[in-house]
Structure 1
């Protein structure tokens, strides 16, 4: 199994109505911006371990690194049953997490996928709280039209019924090795030792001996609200921090959406960010922080140290 070079410690922090699980590396240093790493959909804060291990000794020793499990993922479990999640809640959760760990001090923020989308929106809502921002494949979603709203609300209500009937349940596994095999099937670049390590953070063994994914199936329910590009661009325009947008060479965006949404569309949206540059990680897919952690760590470290 992968040997973590910089073991983390865990804390539980009361955020709104939840006990948020937060993974920490290093200690807070006065005058040094904390580094906050936020994960993507159906992932956990531990997913950043390989990147943290790849940071240089000087960089890692110089700041506290903070990686929460978003609500309904990992060990951040809602206190009562939940049948859907609202994107805006991630912004409010992050706001109060920064209150706890950084106070008035601006932070360096890194987000992957869904976490990258949260980071970009949050930096537009609270620009003074972000010193620098790294967005790892947080592309947003295809443009929508108001005429799609009736169908979207109907889809949302129908999927809540499907969830209540158990039709959206996540698959469980007979062993941690089974979870690791699932991770490698989804991402063929993931080495077996890293998959075995991730499996024990991405899933947990229950009293029945089965290994269950640490993610609420209600996350699979579509958002009731349409994704509005005009709102996203307004939030991008409000960002004052320098932004580094990092893409993987595989073009996962094109594979997901085909002719509905392209990298060219995404780059056009990025033109609304006043201080933005882009980088591409070669030989990597969407989970680029697993595929090429040294390259991702190097980009983050260079950008934040500029």
Structure 2
């Protein structure tokens, strides 16, 4: 594995953990993880990149080693975090962003607001709003969120890292054992109770449910004047959600002025875990534009 190191920065009163790979003098590449994930899980893609990069990968607040937010979490608040991080690490130059799932949905919003800050965008499974993802009326969804904020719970602990590794392989049967072991070592943290807990604030398990409408996403994507590549897994829940809504999906991709989609037929949602070599090739091909 390519070596990484950690650094901590305090911006706007918030403490961020940032993982770094590569040569600080090389071209900068930001990597933004998804929900219930952390920066270290880009390791497999980083290992597969052919070129030399200065890779900057933060843990979002509430995840990994970054500070927690007692007021809960939302995609809009995370755009503030991204703005601070880009201003800190690349104040004078636009940077490429590779982002997965939640990180990509944050980027969808951010790029529309700060188009001059991003040069290229690789969107891995960041297609929100996803059809029928939230069940019930808006009032019911908000009510469930308020209930969760009041009593977030602690999530399921594991007896040891081996049990967490088994759980990861149960969730994703395409995950090789050595990758599952690495992910468990990074995603889990030993608690004072002697059990292994996921390195995430319990409040992150349910986000503030006010998100984009389909028409708003299309408007955002129409305004992206940079090269964009959307990568989707053929077996992911995203693909299943759009199985009978192909016109909707095609309209979204067509809205990107310089965008296209790559479908990895055998991939599920965590393509960067399952197919890092293919993902790395697609990333570097886009960045050559």
Distance 1:270 1:257 in 2: 13
Q: Tell me the CA shift for residue 162 of structure 1.
A: 4.2
Q: Does 1:130 align with 2:115?
A: no
Matching residue of 1:28: 24
What is residue 248 of structure 1 aligned with on the other side?
233
* Equivalence for 2:95: 107
Map of 2:47 onto structure 1: 53
The 8 Å contact of residues 145 and 208 in structure 2, kept in 1 or not, is answered as: no
1:295 matched residue in structure 2: 278
1:238 Cα deviation (Å)?
A: 1.9
Distance 1:289 1:89, change over 3 A: same
Give the alignment's TM-score, normalised by structure 2. Answer: 0.91
Partners of 2:131 and 2:242 within 8 A in 1: no
Distance apart, 1:132 and its partner CA: 0.8
Residue 278 and residue 131 in structure 1: after superposition, are their counterparts in 2 closer, same or farther (change >3 A)?
same
Q: Distance in 1 between matches of 2:178 and 2:131?
A: 39
Q: Counterpart in 1 of 2:248? A: 265
The answer to whether the aligner puts 1:205 opposite 2:190 as a matched pair is yes
Moved over 4 A (4+): 256-259
Distance in 1 (alpha carbons) for counterparts of 2:226 and 2:123: 12
Seen in structure 2, the aligned counterparts of structure 1 residues 153 and 295 have a Cα distance that, compared at 3 Å, is same
Please name the residue that 2:154 is paired with. 169
Question: Structure 1's 162 and 134: CA in aligned 2 closer, same or farther, altered over 3 A?
Answer: closer
Q: State whether residues 52 and 297 of structure 1, in contact with CA within 8 Å, keep that contact through their aligned partners in structure 2.
A: yes
1:79-118 counterparts in 2 under 5 A? Answer: 81-82=70-71, 84-118=72-106
What does the per-residue CA deviation read over 1:228-264, in whole Å, with 9 as the maximum and x for residues that have no partner?
Answer: 22222222122111101111122431435765xx454
Q: SS at 2:31's partner residue?
A: strand
Q: What's the secondary structure of 1:290's corresponding residue? A: helix
The DSSP-based 3-state class of the residue aligned with 1:37 is strand
Which runs of 5 or more residues in structure 2 are unaligned? none
In structure 2, distance between residues paired with 1:67 and 1:224: 25
How many Å apart are 1:163 and its aligned residue?
4.6
1:282 and 1:155 map into 2 onto residues whose CA distance is 32
Paired with 1:251 and 1:197, the residues of 2 have a C-alpha distance of 22
Partner of 1:40: 34
Write the distance in 1 (CA, Å) between the matches of 2:91 and 2:276.
30
Query: Given the two structures, how large is their TM-score scaled by the length of structure 1?
Result: 0.87
| In 1: Cα distance, 2:102 partner to 2:252 partner | 16
Shift of 1:28: 2.6
Q: Against the structure 1 CA distance between its residues 254 and 282, is the aligned structure 2 distance closer, same or farther, given a 3 Å change threshold?
A: closer
What stretches of structure 1 of length at least 5 have no aligned partner? Answer: none
